[in-house]
A and B are shown apart, each in its own frame.
Chain A
Amino acid sequence: MPEDWLKEADFRIGLGLLLLVGLAAVAGPFLWQIDPLRNSLLATFRPPGSVAAGLWHPLGTDQIGRDLLARLLAGTRLSLGIVLVSGAIGAVIGTAVGVVAGYLRGWVDTLAMRLVDIQLAVPFMLLILLIMAVLGASLVNLIVVLGATSWPVYARTARARVLEVREMEYIESVRSLGASAWRILWRHILPNILPGQIVLLTLDLPRLVIMEASVGFLGLGVQPPTPTLGNLIGEGRSFLLNAPWLVIWPGVVIAALVVGCNLFGDGLVRRVEGRET
């Protein structure tokens, strides 16, 4: 079956890409020990593969002679960290809201779902930028804002799954044994919906990767000279004609990350839920 072969292959490619980027983020800065902030005015705008002042620059240097590979590795680590932490924040908040709303029903449920609708009506990008402009650009603010604006999708799916699960017989029997609502939610409903929520997280990560990169690109995220994937593209943009590598390489990493997440997430959906995306 050619179709099955393709499916398995894209799952593996996704996993491979994620491992590759993850490994670069975790181990890269240890293996490539050049300081990403170290500048050298004798070695500005060197193309990839050049040697300047006794140092080899496999990906070239930027406008003040900083090594692009070192900056890319540091930026990948920081961007990946931001995206993972804020994704986790969004998933936890959203799942908690969705589970409680779906189990309690009534006005709590109505209120929670109205809040979801309200937030989904505002463009994420604008909302994030607005809050960043009010609070001020910093790493912590960025993580909090990205996380706090990501909850609606998790809340909606968690609620829908809880509505299904709460009517099942095993919940009914636990309830008739006199278990508290808290215990039922924590011990019996949450484990049931968790796999689906984790799959959702992998599918939502690409959106966060691009969102974080866009905020950095616009200069409202983590402030320079600290590199993130978006910052690197934003800074390199002014030198597009002379030093295109400054823009190209960070973009390649973003694309690898997003493709990896999408393929891996699609594969998970097929395995966990047995449906096509």
Chain B
Amino acid sequence: MIGFLVHRLGWSVLVLLGVAALVFCSLFLTGDPAALMMPPDASRAEIAAFRHAMGFDDPLAVQFLRYLLAALRGDFGISLRFHQPVLGLILERLPATALLAVTALGWSTIAGFVFGIVAAVNAGKWSDLAVRLIALSGQAIPVFWLGLLLILVVSLHWHWLPTGGYGTPAHLVLPALSLGAYYMSAVTRLVRVSLIETLRQDYVRTARAKGLRERRVVIRHALRNALAPVLTVQAMQFASLLGGALVTELIFAWPGIGRLAVQALQNRDFPLVQAIVLLAATTFVVVNMLVDVAYAVLNPRVRL
């Protein structure tokens, strides 16, 4: 078990180092990060002074090492736009994004399970078809389009909920609904397929033969084995969640990290963008590591 943990941890650190290198190198795609970060009308002397001040004239390896060491101390640089430490700006927006992400993942997982079970138990019947239609449309509709349609109908026509903003539960409904729709579909499809698969297994037939009620067979015996793949996939989805949060937060004026990222990109505030990418990747790596470790604890075969 210890060996597995050490191996898994080392692996995560390696991936994060790779991500840091990727993010760091992206600035050098055009050759000159100083010119990239300065306003277009900056003079040559100004760019040269900025290049020297930022240390862009040092060897690449030295710069990367310096970046890494600073990042380990929590120093991700100064925002070019806000003239504040990047980390503070991100931490300020973190609660809003965390609230949105957790709500979206939460409702989508629950709804996905309910839909998936209904479809699997009634496989091939009309309720199955209806659920598959819902799942299909959830995956087909881009999050920003769904968000705009919800604003149009629910906010502008019906005046039920605010069009955007932050602060009350009413503000949370539409953004969470838009962001979660895709994951709801993904969970539904996964639960359906893996439950249909498990319901065919011998041990389920045994459980039925013992005379257990169908509800108990499905929930206690079959669903338990359908859980693992859903957990893995939801953990993998974590990377795309921030991508979806980007547009969702923009549409609903949600003061989170996604909107901060869009603003940073539009302002060419690259230190801020780099830190957000690194933070997103770290979250992803940590969540996936925890899921893997949880598996290893629950299922000794994984440790091999």
Contact = CB atoms under 8 A, between A and B. Distances in A.
Given A123-B239, A277-B193, A217 B247 contact: yes
Contact of B136 (A114, A213, A262): A262
B76 interface: no
A115 B244 CA distance: 24
A6 B276 contact: no
Interface stretch (A68-76, A194-202, A237-245): A237-245
- Classify the secondary structure of B's interface with A: helix
A248 interface: yes
Contacts, number: 153
B242 A115 contact: no
A25 to B, nearest CB: 18
Interface stretch (A83-91, A96-104, A131-139, A180-188): A131-139
A104 B146 CA distance: 46
A122 B241 CA distance: 11
B255 to A, nearest CB: 17
A117 B15 contact: yes
B27 A134 contact: yes
Contacts of B280: 122-123, 126
B140 A247 contact: no
B262 interface: yes
A125 to B, nearest CB: 3
Interface in B30-66: 30, 36
Interface stretch (B83-91, B147-155, B212-220, B223-231): B147-155
B3 interface: no
B139 A262 contact: yes
Interface string A119-132: 11111111101110
Given A3-B124, A251-B149, A121 B284 contact: yes
Contact of B139 (A123, A206, A237): A206
Chain B interface size, under 10 / 10 to 19 / 20 to 34 / 35 or more: 35 or more
Contact of B18 (A118, A129, A219, A258): A118
A6 B243 contact: no
Interface in B1-24: 14-16, 18-19, 22-23
A120 B239 contact: yes
B150 to A, nearest CB: 11
Range class of the A interface residue count: 35 or more
A220 interface: yes
Interface string A211-235: 0011001111000000000000100
A2 interface: yes
B29 interface: yes
Contacts of A135: 29-30
Nearest to B129: A6
A24 interface: no
Interface in B180-231: 189, 193, 196-197
A214 B144 contact: yes
A134 B36 CA distance: 7
A220 B141 CA distance: 20
B30 A134 contact: yes
Nearest to A207: B240
Given A130-B265, A131-B29, A262-B139, A121 B285 contact: yes
A80 interface: no
A210 interface: yes
Contacts of B243: 123-126, 214
Given A121-B281, A214-B142, 6 more contacts: A114-B15, A118-B22, A123-B242, A129-B246, A233-B142, A262-B139
Interface of B: 14-16, 18-19, 22-23, 26-27, 29-30, 36, 123-125, 129, 136-137, 139-145, 148-149, 151-152, 156, 189, 193, 196-197, 236, 239-244, 246-247, 250-251, 261-262, 265-266, 268, 270, 273-274, 276-277, 280-281, 284-285
27 contacts: A3-B124, A114-B14, A114-B18, A118-B19, A121-B18, A123-B241, A125-B242, A126-B280, A127-B277, A129-B262, A130-B26, A133-B273, A134-B26, A134-B36, A214-B144, A214-B243, A218-B247, A240-B148, A244-B152, A247-B148, A251-B148, A255-B140, A255-B141, A258-B140, A262-B136, A263-B136, A276-B196
5 nearest CB pairs, A to B: A125-B243, A118-B18, A3-B124, A251-B145, A258-B140
